[in-house]
Structure 1
Amino acid sequence: MLLYTHIGFWSELVRRRMPKTRFLLQDDRRTLLELIGSSGIPAFTTDIDNLSRNLGGRVCIPFSDPEARVDYYLVCRKDYWRQLHL
């Protein structure tokens, strides 16, 4: 499976939950996207929006494992909240 090396905490989680998987590690994002677009090797991504432009006829399958769910928090100055209100 293709795996980008700079994915932070996801790297440890993926390796722990997929211990029998052999990963082809890629340091360069452009190279990773080229491999995804031109090969049949499965790939792991944390960025579905960016990957979707480079699928090369592939299908994205989201993980259903509850451990693969992450909450993100945004911290900002109170006076900027109106501009960022999501």
Structure 2
Amino acid sequence: MHCASECWGNKQDVERDAVMNAFQETSELFESLHEARLRAIHAQRSAALHGVLDARVALGRVVVALEVAEDACREAHAVTRESAGQN
């Protein structure tokens, strides 16, 4: 019986650590995506200033894709935050 409660405690510790790790990873990923989106916006503006319209359009698609990725990451971060609160 003692082993069962000890094993259950270890399982909870492992789950808590996994959730906290996911929370930290999504936080760092969001920061990276946000920084990449800002760089893409800067590159897009630079392309527009230099008349490279094809690059401006392509970079616009990159900006949109990064915005979508940021939103998904923000959602994952919120879910891990909720999970961390439940453990």
With structure 1 as the length reference, what TM-score do the two structures score?
0.20
With structure 2 as the length reference, what TM-score do the two structures score?
0.20
Higher share of residues assigned strand:
1
- Who wins on radius of gyration, i.e. which is larger? 2
Higher share of residues assigned helix:
2
Greater relative contact order (Cα < 8 A, sep 6+): 2
